[in-house]
């Protein structure tokens, strides 16, 4: 009986999903666009010479003006961008994690034990500054750009979202269905089912209470999530 209830619930879930696909897909697109931090490398030509730029979001955070170690300026920028993308891929990094330190006698921007970029003396001279000051400028640019991107992503997460989940109801018999829930996106993502509790009042009125839950095995109410619409059937 329980398996049958789950199967019917999934069928109803599909029907409701088609009906609400437009609004739900819009939310997914918005979140996909905001997910993670965008890091790219690009080339620009200055006075006939190629330079490499590393861009976080829409902000240029550093420019590599010369070749070194067998790599062109653009290739060096691309290597830095890939390193940054790998570091930021986990989604836990913030601007405060970037710091300036000396590594093997050279000033660099580091995260933990990973060197993001080294401000060598020649690069500093091309920028008219010292290696330490150049590394500090790059660190500040990185911290500001990453903090802005992360804040924007978290803001998207807190925007309203909705989705359709199964209803599992226990009372006089078994009743299953589907419900549309809504609330902050980060909270809605935690809910996987709506629990329905039925009670009667002096045999006159039937009371139905819907509670968004984390799962059928983890009976914890998900805060700030509400049921907007539902449909069910009697088995």
Structural tokens at position 113: 């034990």
Distance CA(109)–CA(103), nearest Å, equals 9
Domain boundaries defined on the chain: 2-33+159-234, 37-156
pLDDT for the residue 129: 95
How many Cβ atoms from other residues are within 10 Å of residue 132's Cβ? 14
Q: Are residues 47 and 80 in contact, defined by beta-carbon separation less than 8 angstroms?
A: no
Q: Are residues 230 and 178 in contact, defined by beta-carbon separation less than 8 angstroms?
A: yes
Those residues with Cβ within 8 angstroms of residue 42's Cβ, 6 or more apart along the chain or in another chain: 52, 53, 55, 74, 77
**Cα-flanking dihedrals φ and ψ of residue 113, to 5°?**
-100, 5
| Residue 57: pLDDT over 90 | no
- Which of 60, 204, 36 lies closest to 137, judged by CA? 60
Which residues on neighbouring strands pair with residue 196, listed in sequence order?
Answer: 169, 210
Those residues with Cβ within 8 angstroms of residue 20's Cβ, 6 or more apart along the chain or in another chain: 162, 164, 180
pLDDT for the residue 153: 46
| Residue 150: pLDDT over 90 | no
How many Cβ atoms from other residues are within 10 Å of residue 65's Cβ? 16
pLDDT for the residue 132: 96
| Residue 110: pLDDT over 60 | yes
pLDDT for the residue 125: 94
Higher-confidence residue of 148 and 159: namely 148
Report the predicted TM-score, pTM, of the whole model to 2 decimal places: 0.51
Determine the longest span between alpha carbons in the chain, in angstroms.
88
Q: Across residues 177-185, what is the average pLDDT?
A: 83
Q: If pLDDT is split at 50, 70 and 90, which confidence band does 173 have?
A: very low
Q: If pLDDT is split at 50, 70 and 90, which confidence band does 158 have?
A: low
- Number of helices (H), then strands (E), belonging to the chain: the values are 6, 11
Which residues on neighbouring strands pair with residue 165, listed in sequence order?
Answer: 179
Mean pLDDT for the chain overall: 75
Q: Across residues 178-185, what is the average pLDDT?
A: 84
| Concatenated DSSP letters of 67-119 | -BTTB-HHHHHHHHHHHHHHHHTTS---GGG-EEEEETTEEEEEETTEEEEE-
pLDDT for the residue 24: 29
Higher-confidence residue of 185 and 4: namely 185
Q: If pLDDT is split at 50, 70 and 90, which confidence band does 114 have?
A: very high
């Amino acid at each position: 009986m329980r398996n049958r209830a789950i199967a019917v619930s999934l069928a109803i879930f599909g029907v409701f999903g088609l009906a609400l696909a437009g609004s739900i897909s819009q939310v997914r697109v918005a979140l996909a666009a905001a997910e993670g931090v965008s890091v790219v490398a690009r080339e620009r030509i200055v006075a006939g010479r190629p330079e490499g730029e590393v861009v976080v979001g829409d902000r240029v955070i550093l420019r590599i003006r010369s070749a070194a170690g067998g790599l062109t300026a653009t290739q060096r920028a691309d290597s830095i961008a890939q390193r940054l993308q790998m570091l930021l891929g986990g989604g836990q990094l913030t601007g405060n994690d970037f710091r300036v330190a000396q590594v093997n006698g050279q000033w660099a921007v580091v995260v933990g034990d990973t060197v993001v970029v080294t401000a060598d003396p020649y690069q500093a001279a091309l920028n008219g500054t010292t290696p330490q000051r150049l590394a500090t400028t790059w660190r500040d640019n990185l911290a500001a750009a990453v903090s802005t991107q992360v804040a924007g992503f978290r803001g998207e997460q807190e925007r309203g979202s909705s989705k359709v989940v199964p209803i599992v109801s226990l009372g006089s018999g078994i009743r299953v269905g589907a419900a549309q829930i809504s609330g902050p996106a980060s909270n809605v993502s935690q809910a996987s089912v709506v629990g329905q509790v039925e009670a009667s009042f002096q045999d006159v009125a039937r009371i139905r209470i819907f509670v968004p839950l984390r799962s059928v095995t983890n009976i914890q109410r998900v805060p700030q999530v509400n049921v907007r619409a539902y449909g069910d059937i009697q088995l």
